[in-house]
Amino acid sequence: MAIDEAVLVSASLRELGRMLRTGETNPTELANAYLERLDTVGRRFNAVVTLTRDRAMREARQAGEELAAGHDRGPLHGIPYGLKDLVATANIPTTWGAVPYREQVFDRDATVVTRLGAAGAVLIAKLAMVELAGGMGYEQPDASLTGPGLSPWNVEGWSGGSSSGSGSAVGSRSVPFAIGSETFGSILTPASFCGVSGLRPTYGRVSRHGAMALCWTMDKLGPMARSADDCGLVLDAIAGHDAEDPCSLTQPYRYAPEESRSDGFRLAVLKGATDGAEAEVKANFEAAVAVLRGVATIEEVELPEIPYGAVATTIIRAEASASFDDLISSGRISELTAPEDRINPMSYITVSARDYLRALRIRRHIGRAVDALMARYDAVLSPTTNGVAYKIGEPFPTARTRSVGSALGAAGNVAGVPAISMPNGIGARGLPTAIQFVGRALDENRILAVANAYQRLTDWHLRLPPLQV
Amino acid sequence: MTEQAATTATSTQPDDDAGGPSVQAGPTVPPATISALLDLVQATYRPGSALTDTERERLQTTIGHMQAASAAIHAYPLTNADEPDPIFSAFRAE
């Protein structure tokens, strides 16, 4: 049997799961179909580093045998996925997107891979990323050993970073879901630029064990998928305490869509959220808010005056200077792709211990201020990015503008609170725009409930990139 | 070492955000500060060899960004009682 292309590009995880259980397809056929699509469509967007064909066939065969025997591991059983190439996989290269690590191979899987394996998911690819998760200060899309990530919606636009391949592989419908990572914007930005749903979990919710460290106190792993519901199903499989990650949370997590409310939400819009945004971003955000008014009360709020961006900058650069000390000291940064990445990291040594600790001290204030704000609402809203994907070849400093939305990004990442981005319309050059819902620490289910309600009322998450259909 | 022009401090967003520093005008960082920190970078990573003009120019810019971040966090009031959240814990094997 052959799977209909329309199913491959549009099916939710629940729909694929149903097909696997009714015998309309099987895990091996599904893995082969997505491997083929990644190898053809996905590669057009520089989404792929390594196809893990042998491992995929082995895991798919096992999933098929288990399902046939009635051993059901849950909603991801037999479902193919892609993994950002900063997550370790046994005996398969893990490049961190960077030339100096092109040949790097670990001998064991990261915890997140182990958990997805236990859920029966099938790893089919290691996906492209900005070199070293963007921590060296890149200022252009061409900052990866696999070339610039391209948006499936318009190849003249960047896929976003640093989870570039995770965004474009999901956006081009070449995988049902992928794992990305975020230190500051690296899940939400590619989710926005590629028109997919991306969930940044609470810091510590998903084990970082086996993932490349950029900034120990801010790195998070999370799902990127076709819908908020899909993100919830994946988070359910990968969340949970891990003794091998010293920052892993002990609180358990279970996705609970059955408890989702469809109305009565309390939401807030960040004051000035669309200041400086592109016209379409502003219009689409306002349209999304209008939709949400049908199921929620919505107030306007302001973030307290705290230097969120400066705190984030100081923490990330101080920790990156240490986590990549060997690479910087050895001079091998000269092998990185983006010219600025070969120079910028040397300057990180100028962040003093005094400043690093001061940033961490302010961070405590930020955590409490953000919690006090978020505790009053199910979610705080703003555009995810204030513009559509940057043009390939355009340096960032001339491409980007500043908005209050970026303050929400800084505050959310420094505080370690969860957020989800989802498409909310089409903007300039046919590229998607997006809205983000930011919530209280540990309240993934609340923002997922709001996101599910929004996606029940709209169909932006179901729209397909014109190049792919 | 050459005398550097005064650098306008900037506040930045981290670079794995939607991309690169987002710049806001801020206070002026004294050239001597930039110069001294550039010397630190050179002594640490390039002892005995000169930085190229391109490297020097870029490093001056990024050092300026970080000095601006430093100024911003020092403008935020803290007291002696304000501690960082600890991640260290005393270890004892089972």
- Ranges A10-19, A102-111, A252-261, A280-289: which has the least confidence: A252-261
Greater model confidence, A374 or B93:
A374
Pairing type for strands A177-182 and A379-383 reads unpaired
Residues listed for chain B = 94
pLDDT value of position A318: 98
3-class DSSP string for chain A:
CCCCHHHHHHCCHHHHHHHHHHCCCCHHHHHHHHHHHHHHHHHHCCCEEEECHHHHHHHHHHHHHHHHCCCCCCCCCCCEEEEECCECCECCECCCCCHHHCCCEECCCCHHHHHHHHCCCEEEEEECCCHHHHCCCCCCCCCCCCCCCEECCEEEEECCCCCHHHHHHHHCCCCCEEEEEECCCCCHHHHHHHCCEEEECCCCCECCCCECCCCCCCCEEEEEECCHHHHHHHHHHHECCCCCCCCCCCCCCCCCHHHCCCCCEEEEEECCCCCCCCHHHHHHHHHHHHHHCCCEEEEEECCCCCCHHHHHHHHHHHHHHHHCHHHHHHCHHHHCCCHHHHCHHHHHHHCCHHHHHHHHHHHHHHHHHHHHHHCCCCEEEEECCCCCCCECCCCHHHHCCCCHHHHHHHHHHHHCCCEEEEEEEECHHHCEEEEEEECCCCCHHHHHHHHHHHHHHCCHHHCCCHHHC
A-interface mutation test, from B17, B24, B88, most A Cβ less than 10 A away: B17
Q: Say whether residue B63 is in contact with chain A using an 8 A CB cutoff.
A: yes
Q: Does B90 touch chain A (CB under 8 A)?
A: no
pLDDT tens, position by position, A325-352: 999 999 999 999 999 999 999 999 999 9
Are the beta carbons of B45 and A346 separated by less than 8 Å?
Answer: yes
pLDDT > 80? residue B1 = no
pLDDT on residue A349: 97
How far, in Å, are A282, A305, B79 from residue A200 at the CA level?
A: 23, 24, 32
Lowest mean pLDDT among A59-63, A113-117, A123-127, A274-278: A274-278
Strand partners, A267: A298, A379
Q: What is the pLDDT of residue A469?
A: 41
Read off φ and ψ for residue A413, nearest 5 degrees: -75, -40
Give me the pLDDT at residue B87, please: 74
- In total, chain A counts a number of residues equal to 469
Q: How far is A313 from chain B (nearest CA, A)?
A: 5
The verdict on a CB contact (< 8 Å) between A362 and B76 is yes
For the stretch A204-263, pLDDT in tens is 999 999 999 999 999 999 999 999 999 999 999 999 999 999 999 999 999 998 777 777
Q: What is the ipTM of this complex?
A: 0.89
- Containing H/E element for B10? strand B7-11
Return the axis-axis angle of helices A53-68 and A27-37, rounded to nearest 10°. 150
Nearest-neighbour CA in chain B from A314: distance (Å): 7
- Could you tell me the pLDDT band of residue B50, with boundaries at 50, 70 and 90? confident
Rounded CA-CA distance A181/A205 in Å is 12
Residues 6+ apart with CB under 8 A from A154: A389, A429, A430, A431, A467
Percentage of chain A beyond pLDDT 90 is 94
Among A16, A43, A34, A26, smallest CA distance to A174 is for A34
Which residue among B11, B15, B19 sits closest to A135, beta carbon to beta carbon? B15
Chain A environment of B16 (Cβ under 8 Å): 130, 133-135, 161-162, 183-186, 214, 316
Min Cα–Cα distance to chain B from A30, Å: 33
pLDDT exceeds cutoff 90 at A47:
yes
Structure tokens belonging to residue A27: 């895990």
A400 band by pLDDT with thresholds 50, 70 and 90: low
Catalogue the active-site residues of A.
84, 162, 186
A159-210 tens-digit pLDDT: 999 999 999 999 999 999 999 999 999 999 999 999 999 999 999 999 999 9
Closest residue in B to A407 (Cα) is B13
Which residues of chain B does A189 touch, with a Cβ-Cβ cutoff of 8 Å?
17-19
Global pTM value: 0.94
Instruction: Please check the confidence at residue A451 and state whether its pLDDT lies above 80.
Output: yes
Chain-chain contact of B18 with A328 (C-beta, under 8 angstroms)? no
Q: Does B65 touch chain A (CB under 8 A)?
A: yes
- Chain segment A124-156, per-residue pLDDT in tens: 999 999 999 999 999 999 999 999 999 999 999
pLDDT score recorded for residue B90: 76
Tell me, yes or no, if A424 comes closer than 8 A to chain B by beta carbon: no
> Whole-number mean pLDDT of chain A?
95
The residue among A238, A370, A358, A222 whose CA lies nearest residue A302 is A370
